[in-house]
Amino acid sequence: MKKLLSILLLLSFCAALVYAQDGPPPRMNPKDRTAELKKKLKLTDTQVAKVDSIFQDNQKKMDEMMQNGPGGNMEEGRKAMDEMMQNTDKSIMKVLNAEQKVIYKKMIEERKKQMEEMMPPPPEGR
């Protein structure tokens, strides 16, 4: 469990670093994450409500995963976190218009690139 918490903290730190180039790192709570996307994507009030709901659900799932995690298995924890991030991104993409999707896709690519630089994927066969 301690390893899972360490992984989640490291991933949160990595995600914060992704946004650091645009200013101070966000305080990774749902409201702040929503505010960051509102600013970068120029979200409407309706979109803000939907995105905030997505991030709130994501936070609940993350809290559950931290309590009921994969028993300290780092690889399983990493896969679960990757899957959660992908599902969140897919849900957010459904809320965006075409112009916003282009910007958000670039944000996702940059986040992945920086996370891989900080924490490369494990070698195959492990």
| pLDDT > 90 fraction of the chain, expressed in percent and rounded | 42
Distance of CA 117 to the CA centre of its chain: 16
Which pTM value belongs to this model? 0.68
Handedness of CA 32, 33, 39, 45 (dihedral sign): negative
pLDDT at 88: 94
Q: Is the pLDDT of residue 35 over 60?
A: yes
What is the rounded average pLDDT of the residues 68-83? 74
